Structure 1
């Protein structure tokens, strides 16, 4: 029966169009039609999924349920216990803060009672001001500050500044106060502000996640929904450093608490996340890209990770840059793509992880926002861009987890895949020329059931950074039209002076393709058929089809 399910069968796009076929095809086909059932498209895992099952973009942006998770008396197996003691929470964050800034922040000291029992800043505050003032300042009256295409602000419900993408938070405190006044004014009328659309294409988008308010002012092709999605990433980034439990406890104790003092030194992580979202389509697609790798090599790596396990391990992840090489998870425990993106961002934002073995607390907010895991982060070798991330539930298990890394490296050498990994790292991206379609310039393909996507290296004529950003902007435009909440589209053909683009969204996959401007619509549709056949042919190299568990 299993052989029948995975049997390949040739399909052609019917009548040279992208019209949905009749019925749902359950076989794995070389060229899927829009009626193809989810789980049988190219890139779909054949033996289960690695990530939380997210059928659509809308699933990725579902409202935060951290409050419910924190109040729930039941915990999923393998999740870390909730840290109810402020002493324990302080110790956890001090470890992470030391990793980021070289100085430990004591939350208990920061929140110590004053003479009248009120919470007030400690004398250590003055020593931390130097960390806060290290951020490059831009005056909001300067033209350079106004010319940025996107600003991001985070503030507390009391109007206290928490983060600003550009400029000094202190200088922008009055501006953030106005933002909070807008939010409060509409809430007093039992309403909520979501966005403001101004002249010249400016959008002001608000996201309320108590006790924080996140605001973006953007002049891009992104929709309101996509900008809100990026703001949620910033919110989850803050939770990954503090946990939802700790964040709420702080503001319950002191509503006008200055959260910047606790987050001092982590600004570059948030800055790096915003930079990644501006250039990496992973965030737009809500999916993870795999390093192109021969299936036999990837299977050997995954098997080695699987065997180098410990009782406290929940996830073992091998990555290269922002591409996934292998992921092994504890049975019945699923990672969310957003959590994996945050882990990628943490590693890419600091070069200190290359210097040795790091043991740092990390919250995975989409998995469990109420407590910390502890992550062992290290590179296999200095000259290889391969980072091993081992996520444990036991804060005292460093040496056991470190031994897992040693056993993993031994198994890699024993299996003889070390050289193959080095070869794969020399060409971490493939060329669009390998597809063999003359007018094809670039594409992004996402398998919805696996949460993985693939795309070639961006090549000529998109060599300059401005051209790469323009191409991503066009993809953002197509994505926003396809996922418009009031009128979603399944098929889009866009013609422009420099290129033509096609978007095709089904229940099973999403495909965004960029062509030469000299092509025709009929030629583009025929090219899609050839492209889907090529992806099916190469799927075992471009995707992880057989995810492993402990």
Structure 2
């Protein structure tokens, strides 16, 4: 199991050690991760994308996860095709820290890169470096549907709790089938996001929106929303070109030497506007002839639409649970890394 402590120990013993030995077998996972870094806005914004759902359904699913608990369970995460459905965190852990988007991206990339997770119930150690680079959890990973689109991830601090955690999964799956929510999720994945046309404003082609006015006491995952890419961004080449423009605007907004709060940028094939306030971070793409005044007028309408739809687009009030014994210290302190051969090699 690779953690910061184990890697540091290796190089203290042998400074010219070839780390590739420990990464053997993880090439597919690393390649997929590198591709996502270049194409997934979540890495750029430091946030996760939620599956748009009625608030009542998301709350009901969160309640199911709250009830299906066992001692030393720390996180319960429900995802559908790499989109977050809901996440429940142990109350004692929330007091110390929260699950970071980077850790969730790493976890979802691991699941998506290997077909081994589609074979059944998987129990594997995993390090979440932003949460604790020197420790690791035991991750229970299982798909809930035959199409392998809806996945439940349960993170525990107890190596011996596989059967107890597996029972939690069975309770969640049974309750979801009884409620019909599993069928709703699977059906909703036929069109997992939404089109920019639903906003109802002309000239708007695409946008990235990240809310920033989140009460600290909720300790929730930073989230963002964006519509499906449509014409003229249907080809991979055009999508990469658009994301390159977003990366450029992001670098200007977050420049260490001269940060900006508002950027109006006229590109060759489109016009873009980036705007960051204390409440949100927003990147928008328009047709090429939109003026600055016209773009700001569109933004006003877009922000009204997002406000109206925020309960469907985001997890606004993340659910929590309490298990015994208290997992806070053991989760943050982490388990000692007893193996130094990595766990990727077995996938």
Q: How does 1:26-425 map to 2 (within 5 A)?
A: 93=1, 242-333=2-93, 334-425=98-189
Deviation at 1:497, TM superposition (A): 2.6
Contact 2:124–2:139 (CA<8 Å) still a contact in 1? Answer: yes
The 3-state SS of whatever aligns with 1:324 is strand
Contact 2:118–2:148 (CA<8 Å) still a contact in 1? Answer: no
Q: Separation in 1 of the partners of 2:293 and 2:187? A: 39
Contact 1:304–1:408 (CA<8 Å) still a contact in 2? Answer: yes
Structure 1 stretch 250-259 or stretch 366-375: which is displaced more? 250-259
Q: Separation in 1 of the partners of 2:132 and 2:254? A: 27
The 3-state SS of whatever aligns with 2:135 is strand
User: What is the TM-score of this pair, normalised by structure 1?
Assistant: 0.55
1:458 aligns with 2:229: yes
Deviations 1:391-420 (A, max 9, x none): 010111111111110000111123332332
Q: How does 1:418-433 map to 2 (within 5 A)?
A: 418-433=182-197
Q: Separation in 2 of the partners of 1:415 and 1:378? A: 19
1:528 aligns with 2:299: yes
Contact 1:442–1:515 (CA<8 Å) still a contact in 2? Answer: yes
Q: Separation in 1 of the partners of 2:19 and 2:186? A: 43
Q: Separation in 2 of the partners of 1:506 and 1:347? A: 35
Contact 1:289–1:454 (CA<8 Å) still a contact in 2? Answer: yes
1:435 aligns with 2:206: no
Q: 1:514 aligns with which of 285, 301, 307?
A: 285
Deviation at 1:384, TM superposition (A): 4.5
Unaligned 5+ residue runs, structure 2? 215-219, 322-347
Deviations 1:165-191 (A, max 9, x none): xxxxxxxxxxxxxxxxxxxxxxxxxxx
Higher relative contact order (CA 8 A, sep 6+): 2
Q: 1:467 aligns with which of 222, 235, 238?
A: 238
Deviation at 1:353, TM superposition (A): 0.4
Deviations 1:301-325 (A, max 9, x none): 1111111111111000011222101
1:493 aligns with 2:257: no
* Aligned-CA RMSD value: 1.1
Deviations 1:338-365 (A, max 9, x none): 1111111111111110111111110111
Q: Separation in 1 of the partners of 2:132 and 2:247? A: 30
Q: Larger Rg: 1 or 2?
A: 1
Q: Separation in 2 of the partners of 1:383 and 1:344? A: 17
The 3-state SS of whatever aligns with 2:303 is helix
User: What is the TM-score of this pair, normalised by structure 2?
Assistant: 0.87
